[in-house]
Amino acid sequence: MLTILPRPVLALAAVVFALAGSQAAEAACGAGAPGRTERVEIGDTGRSLLLHRPAAQDGSTPLPLVILLHGSTMTGAQMLSATTLEATAEAKGFIVAAPDAGIPAGPGFVWNIPGVPTVTGKVPGPEDADDVAYLGAVIDDLVARQCIDRARVYVTGLSGGGRMASWLGCVTPERFAAIAPVVGLRAGNPDPDDASRPDPKTCTPSLPVPVMAFAGDADRTNPIQGGGLPYWSYSMHAAEQRWAQLNGCTAAPTATWIADGVYEERHGGCTGDAEVIGRITVGGGHVWLADEAAMWAFFSSRTRS
């Protein structure tokens, strides 16, 4: 027998149901406060990171994620303060995660890029934290708990963090819709037989990876013309050319002035629209040179299927 409830009871039931649905969505998206930067634990990794959710997040719609990787001997907190990505995230509607690397060094940490010495001169060994596995766990955890759209995960980073972002594109391209290294673009380890070029055996992504890199032509730490410490060696142009080859880019590369003192090198005609772009600041040094609006425009036009 069908029982028809009085209207006030029906209305109350609807409110309770909607509230329960809202609470379930919020629980699925994590308990962090939108509009704030908070430290969150990542699964059973024993590690945490800083997470910024934009104030406009409705608690149910999955948002893009930008992972920000700090430079060598820095921390995620220092990296956040060196950028305006929290404000950019508020304006554009994405989530920012700023983790710490897994190898303690100096006042902070360095990233584990296998086979390449860190700034301390030591090549990471099996006893060191596996940062690729950790960052994969970060994505899985945040997708599960923080309303992240798995198809719109991006990574950027400064210096050693830019090199780590490049490495992630090489070894886990399926996790990232695009990468944007800052003063740190690489395309694999330096070739042991010819350090002026990348070793093709060390960067073999199974998918094209859109790349937008930022650098300065006065960078003496990671010089765009190559040289520097053993982890660097080959030029930024060599890295761009290798990514263009990996991405199947067929158009002739172009160089265009886009602003006073800033030019852009672009490889187009790439598989899956996986362009390779290098944006160079004349006189720019070893600092955060990213145009965050341009970076987000590049990121937001790409998804990983």
Question: Which residue's structure tokens are 């300065």?
Answer: 216
Rounded-to-integer distance, Cα 165 and Cα 175, Å: 12
Q: Which CATH number fits domain 33-300: 3.40.50.720, 3.30.70.20, 3.40.50.1820, 3.40.50.800?
A: 3.40.50.1820
Q: What is the pLDDT of residue 95?
A: 96
Find, among 183, 203, 185, 217, the residue nearest to 288 by Cα: 183
The tokens describing 166, both together, are 């490049």
Q: Map out the domains of the chain as residue ranges.
A: 33-300
Q: How far is CA 235 from CA 79, 138, 195, 240, 290, in A?
A: 25, 31, 10, 9, 19
Q: Is 293 left (phi over 0), alpha (psi -120 to 50) or beta?
A: alpha
The span from the first CA to the last CA of the chain, in angstroms, equals 49
Main-chain dihedrals φ then ψ at residue 147, nearest 5 degrees: 60, 55
pLDDT of residue 113: 98
Q: Distance between CA 248 and CA 268 in Å, rounded?
A: 9
Name residue 52's amino acid. Answer: H
Where is average pLDDT lowest: 29-43, 66-80, 121-135, 232-246? 29-43
Q: Is residue 298 predicted with pLDDT exceeding 50?
A: yes
Give residue 56's pLDDT band: very low, low, confident or very high (50, 70, 90).
confident
Cα(301)–Cα(159) distance, integer angstroms: 25
- Residues whose CB falls within 8 Å of the CB of residue 215, separated by 6 or more in sequence, listed in order: 182, 183, 185, 222, 224, 236, 278, 279, 280, 281, 284, 289
Which among 64, 35, 48 has a CA at the least distance from the CA of 295? 64
**Rounded-to-10 torsion of CA 207, 183, 111, 83:** -100
Q: Is the CB of residue 266 less than 8 Å from the CB of residue 254? A: yes
Q: pLDDT (tens digit, 9 = 90+) per residue, 157-177?
A: 999 999 999 999 999 999 999
Neighbour-count burial of 285, counting CB atoms closer than 10 A to its CB (0-12 exposed, 13-18 middle, 19+ buried): middle
Coil, strand or helix at 198:
strand
Cα separation, 239 vs 265, in Å, equals 12
Kindly list the distances between the CA atom of residue 211 and the CA atoms of 205, 261, 266, 291, in Å, as whole numbers in the listed order.
13, 21, 10, 14
| Phi, psi (deg, nearest 5) at residue 79 | -65, -45
pLDDT band at 300 (very low <50, low <70, confident <90, very high): very high
* % of the chain surpassing 70 pLDDT: 90
